Amino acid sequence: MADARHTLGKPAALSRKAELTLRLATAVGDVAAWVSRITGRGSGASIRGQVLTRLAPTAFADLLQGRRILAVSGTNGKTTTTHLLAAALRESLGAEAARLVTNADGANLRYGIASALAKNRSADIAVLETDERVVSDMIALGRPEVLVFLNFSRDQLDRHHEIKALGRAWRVALDQAGDAGPTIIANASDPLVVWSSSTASRVVWVEVATLWSADAALCPGCGTVLTRLRSEGRDRWDCPGCELTQPSASYQVEGSSIRLPDGQVVVPDLQVPGSFNISNAACALAAAVEFGVDPVTALAGMHTVVSPAGRFATVQFGATTARLLLAKNPAGWAEALPLAASDPVVLAIDSVAADGKDVSWLWDVDYEQLAGRRVIATGPRAQDLAVRLGYAGVEHRIVPDLAAALAGHPHPVDVIATYTPFQRLLKMGGLR
Amino acid sequence: MSRPVEIVVVYQSLLGIYGDRGNAMVLRSRLLQRGIDADLIEIEPGDRLPASGAVYLLGGGEDAAQVSAVKYLREDGHLFEAMDDGAVLFAVCAGYQIAGQTFTVGERDQVIEGLGLLDVTTRRGTERAVGEILTRWQRPDGTESLITGFENHGGFTTLGPGASPLAFVEIGVGNANDGTEGAVQGRVIGTYPHGPVLARNPELADHLLEVALGRSLEPLPNDEITELRRQRVAAIRRQGSRR
Ligand SMILES: [Zn+2]
């Protein structure tokens, strides 16, 4: 690090027995991951982690020890922000970039994190994308120095029926960690994030630009309907029923630029598109600065990020050139739809567990904005999408098979996909 | 020219967690397709509901939102006035629960008084009901129609003597795993299949409109919806037979 305040050491030594168990489990996990890859079942990260954790039950906790950890969580933007933050830190490490380990593939549950860490035991800095459900364990077991909370919106309601319960768990974990807890980099514009962070000993607030506020109607603290205030040309939320109010932020997103705590305004030169990625960059920048990286170096690193885990990647399918956009929930669609400018545009919908089994969310997405363009509806739930588009007055055609939907486009097409078809597209395009 | 039919979406920010606005969009569109002028009116807490609506829609939401919605609707009062004037209330999931006599919230099962528009009570169930649901609905003309949807609720609902079941469960949990689903009482219909249930079930949508307008409507054949219904019914039965 540019900053020499922190002493950096090798990851802490485990007991001889624990070390042997972990090594053996890692070796077996590697074999399982290799089998998974060659049989085409996936990248193997999750399988490696599962095997590893079965043979060495404390692997997740053990592998976190002795590293300086930065964790990234929230509903949307975790993968991209993790890539931006890792790139910022690598830039600062220069020739020592191999000291950094990250779960770049987006495998963000305990297995995925354990897998990434097991592959790189000697790395002493870890940038870890962390699922919302794993955050409490990460705080307790990993003692991260920095934890980024991006946003909190409804996602796959058949699994997480109450997002507030997650926020409550974070509050408890932060409270228990006390002064030893992480510095939180948190989105001040999101009431649930603010409430969830309010037991932390130290928070750096970032005010982001957001297209989605439908999940933030009620005060998470007292249940009163939140109001919007306008001051100094900016909208702020406020609870008339209790103390909770939008904190004034150290970092502010203003259009395509970011105002730093010292008043300096920087324009991140990103290769990932969209206003929400400016917001992600602002959070990554704040986290990097908190870790001791100077903003100029951090921004130079972030510039190198092109297609985090395949997001925004341009892929060739036969003669068709396609750009891949991932949208996992209504907030994600609100961000992705304005980016998808092609005509026709391909929308791919599935409803297995990773996508959310319930496709009711189709009616929370403003597909009406596609009117005047042609949509190709594909994926196992293309019929649900077709009915939605019919009511939206959008011209469309159903091509259930993903490969057929992508065949024979003379001009580049944008593809927005839910999680499962997105992973399939990466594989079909040779990116995974 | 008659006044547009008003479809009132009640507190989308509180009771709109599952794409519930879709039901209003479907109702409006099905009127417009028949040449009947219709307005979609979305009301948030702080603004008064119109008392002139033909159909009012309550959707899904979390515990705290349910409690707030009841409080605001009581203070507002216009929903009750509209119901006295013959409006239709279509209440889904959390909205169904609050339309009843009482429901419970929180881990300590605090009992909350509902709107009292349906003679039903809701308590926490033995386990959360999450999944596709298929029910048989007896239409007013005596014919049967299948309703398909997705249910996701922790509460189990018991019907009092004033309410009758909307439908009978073929696959899924419904009211309380007792074979019944939803409730009807006068012009109030409550049901668990949430979000855009009317998109998948156009006959139910048209039934609501017919009750609200007091006249019958000609059918609107749509191959895409027919195919969607075929696919969903087949998928749920496949899944159900594996249970
Ligand atoms: Zn409050």
Q: What is the pLDDT of residues B116-173, one digit of tens each?
A: 999 999 999 988 999 999 999 998 888 999 999 999 999 999 999 999 999 999 999 9
Chain B residue nearest residue A368, CA to CA: B25
The C-alpha of B57 sits at a distance from chain A's nearest C-alpha, in angstroms, of 15
A285/A317 same-domain check? no
The C-alpha of B162 sits at a distance from chain A's nearest C-alpha, in angstroms, of 31
Contacts of B21 in chain A (CB under 8 A): 363-364
At residue B241, the pLDDT reads 62
Helices (H), A188-270: 191-197
The predicted complex's ipTM stands at 0.96
Q: Give the nearest partner residue to B13 out of A217, A362, A383, using CB atoms.
A: A217
A143/A96 same-domain check? yes
Tell me whether residue A369 is in a domain: yes
A259/A371 same-domain check? no
Q: Are B195 and B19 in contact (CB under 8 A)?
A: yes
| Terminal alpha carbon distance of chain A | 32
Could you say which DSSP state residue A141 is in?
A: I
Q: Are A47 and A29 in contact (CB under 8 A)?
A: yes
Q: Which of A284, A306, A328 is the last residue of a domain?
A: A306
Q: How far, in Å, CA of A176 to CA of A141, rounded?
A: 12
Average pLDDT over residues B96-116: 95
Ligand 1 centroid from CA A247, angstroms: 14
In CATH, what number is assigned to the domain containing residue B117?
3.40.50.880
Average pLDDT over residues A15-22: 83
At residue A181, the pLDDT reads 96
Instruction: Indicate yes or no: CB of A363 within 8 angstroms of CB of B199.
Output: yes
Average pLDDT over residues A104-117: 92
What percent of chain A is predicted at pLDDT more than 70?
A: 92
Instruction: Indicate yes or no: CB of A223 within 8 angstroms of CB of B62.
Output: no
Count of domains for chain A: 2
At residue B208, the pLDDT reads 98
Flag whether pLDDT at A41 surpasses 70: no
The C-alpha of B125 sits at a distance from chain A's nearest C-alpha, in angstroms, of 15
A103/A238 same-domain check? yes
Ligand 1 centroid from CA A240, angstroms: 7
Q: Give the nearest partner residue to B224 out of A359, A364, A387, using CB atoms.
A: A387
What residue numbers bound the domain in which A399 lies? 313-428
* SS3 state at B209: helix
Average pLDDT over residues A306-311: 94
Q: What is the pLDDT of residues A356-382, one digit of tens each?
A: 889 999 999 999 999 999 999 999 999
How would you label A348-357 residue by residue, b for 16+ Cβ within 10 Å and e otherwise? Answer: bbbbeeebbb
Ligand 1 centroid from CA A164, angstroms: 14
Flag whether pLDDT at A7 surpasses 50: no
A175/A235 same-domain check? yes
A249/A345 same-domain check? no
At residue B157, the pLDDT reads 98
The C-alpha of B224 sits at a distance from chain A's nearest C-alpha, in angstroms, of 6
| Helices and strands in chain B, H and E counts | 7, 12
Chain B residue nearest residue A365, CA to CA: B19
Q: Give the nearest partner residue to A387 out of B62, B154, B225, using CB atoms.
A: B225
User: Taking an 8 Å Cβ-Cβ cutoff, which residues of chain A contact chain B?
Assistant: 154, 157-158, 161-162, 164, 214, 217-218, 223-225, 357-364, 383-384, 386-388, 390-391, 398
A178/A219 same-domain check? yes
In CATH, what number is assigned to the domain containing residue A369?
3.90.190
Confidence of residue A2 (pLDDT cuts 50, 70, 90): very low
Confidence of residue A162 (pLDDT cuts 50, 70, 90): low
What residue numbers bound the domain in which B216 lies? 5-241
Flag whether pLDDT at A4 surpasses 80: no
At residue A23, the pLDDT reads 86
Q: Give the nearest partner residue to B199 out of A357, A391, A398, using CB atoms.
A: A391
A291/A322 same-domain check? no
Q: How far, in Å, CA of A15 to CA of A159, rounded?
A: 38
Q: What is the pLDDT of residues A79-89, one digit of tens each?
A: 999 999 999 99
Tell me whether residue A38 is in a domain: no
Tell me whether residue A168 is in a domain: yes
Instruction: Indicate yes or no: CB of B65 within 8 angstroms of CB of A217.
Output: yes
Q: What one-character-per-residue DSSP string does B66-123 give? A: HHHHHHHHHHH-HHHHHHHTT-EEEEETHHHHHHSSEEEETTTTEEEE---SSSEEEE
Most confident segment among A31-40, A134-143, A145-154:
A134-143
Strand A251-254 vs strand A257-259: parallel, antiparallel, or unpaired?
antiparallel
Chain A residue nearest residue B223, CA to CA: A387
Tell me whether residue A57 is in a domain: no
